[in-house]
Amino acid sequence: MGYLLKFLMWAQYISIFVFGLVIGSFLNVVVYRVPRNQSIIKPPSHCPVCNAKLKWYDMVPVLSYILLKGRCRYCGAKISLKYPFVELLTGITFLLIFQKFNWSIQFLKWIIFTGLLISVGLIDLLNGVVPDVIVVPGLVIGLIFSIFGGSGSILQSIYGLGIIGGFFLIVIILSRGGMGWGDLTFGMMIGSFLGLELSLLTLLIAFVSGAIVGLIALAVKKKSRKDPIPFGPFLSFAAFVASIYGYEILKMYFKIMHFS
């Protein structure tokens, strides 16, 4: 009986990981096409260099990249490492979410949230824009999930998007364009999912991680003081950490403060 339970457990984990890989493959399409104002449905997947239509066996997540040695089967053009990275990232994050929430409405909520975070964070990193076509529907989805979260959840969602939106509005005004409006709308989307406490934690983690990476980039001369650094990836990272481990982090913080 014990072996059967272990088999079923591992079967679930493998299934969730493979599901994450497949969703990651779709997110690659979103990240590539949305900034170019292209449909994510048609035309079918093709090589951006030679335009050859890709077969199903050219698009098996991660495995096809390995077998093709990172090159297009038809023209030999190099395939960016970004594609298997996004697939693996999505698979791993989905596993972490499943480990935390198992089969539940929360599992569905947070994998959708994570897909939004990965898409927007990468688009901002690669293209320097935050697409409203993803963020605005994402904000609505966050509000819808809050309706099913029990008493007070919808208020928490409104508080969350309000506190982040208000914070970024103040930063934008004071910095005179040093931070973009896309960060504001992306932050509001995050707040609609996370609520008040986790939204505040997200802001803290995002700014701390952004400052650390910024200082490292300056130290190794990858960036100058005048070069803009997209904030979306740091918001994505911070929001994911807060969504999965946020309450544990807050408990640890208050425990330390209580005994200090």
Count CB neighbours of 196 within 10 A: 18
Are 26 and 59 in contact by the 8 Å Cβ rule? The answer is no
Q: Are residues 84 and 110 in the same domain?
A: no
Same domain, 70 and 116: no
98 lies in the same domain as 133? no
pLDDT score of 125? 94
- Of 102, 130, 152, the residue that ends a domain is 102
Helices and strands, number each (H, E), in the chain = 8, 0
Question: Same structural domain for residues 176 and 240?
Answer: yes
Residues 120 and 220 in one domain: yes
pLDDT in single tens digits along all 260 residues of the chain = 677 888 888 999 999 999 999 999 999 999 999 999 999 888 888 888 898 888 888 899 999 999 999 999 999 899 999 999 999 999 999 999 999 999 999 999 999 999 999 999 999 999 999 999 999 999 999 999 998 876 568 999 999 999 999 999 998 888 776 677 889 999 999 999 999 999 999 999 999 999 999 888 888 767 666 777 889 999 999 999 999 999 999 988 888 876 54
Single out the residue in 102, 137, 169 at which a domain terminates: 102
For residues 199 and 243, state if they share a domain: yes
What pLDDT does 153 receive? 86
Question: What distance in Å separates the CA atoms of residue 40 and residue 130, rounded to the nearest whole number?
Answer: 17
pLDDT computed for residue 246 by the predictor: 94
In angstroms, the CA 138 to CA 134 distance is 6
What is the rounded distance in angstroms from the CA atom of residue 260 to the CA atom of residue 252? Answer: 12
For residues 25 and 125, membership in a common domain is answered with no
Q: CA gyration radius for the chain?
A: 20
95 plus 158 within the same structural domain:
no
pLDDT, residue 259, reads 52
Task: Say whether both 123 and 240 belong to one domain.
Answer: yes
How many Cα atoms within 13 Å fall on the side-chain side of residue 118? 29
- For residue 135, the model assigns a pLDDT of 97
- Residue 50 near residue 77 (C-beta atoms within 8 A): yes
Q: Give residue 54's pLDDT.
A: 87
The domain boundary, picked from 43, 72, 102, lies at 102
Does residue 137 sit in the same domain as residue 251? yes
What's the total number of domains in the chain? 2
* Co-location of 97 and 121 in the same domain: no
- pLDDT in the model for residue 204: 95
Residue 255's pLDDT is 82
Query: What count of other Cβ atoms lies within 10 Å of the Cβ of residue 29?
Result: 17
Q: Cα(58)–Cα(222) distance, rounded to whole angstroms?
A: 35
Q: Which residue segment(s) compose the domain that 240 sits in? A: 104-260
Close Cβ partners of 225 (under 8 Å, ≥ 6 residues apart): 218
> What pLDDT is recorded for position 178?
66
In this structure, are 119 and 242 located in the same domain?
yes
Residue 159: Cβ within 10 Å count: 18
**b vs e for 112-124, b when ≥16 Cβ sit within 10 Å of the residue's Cβ?**
bbbbbbbbbbbbb
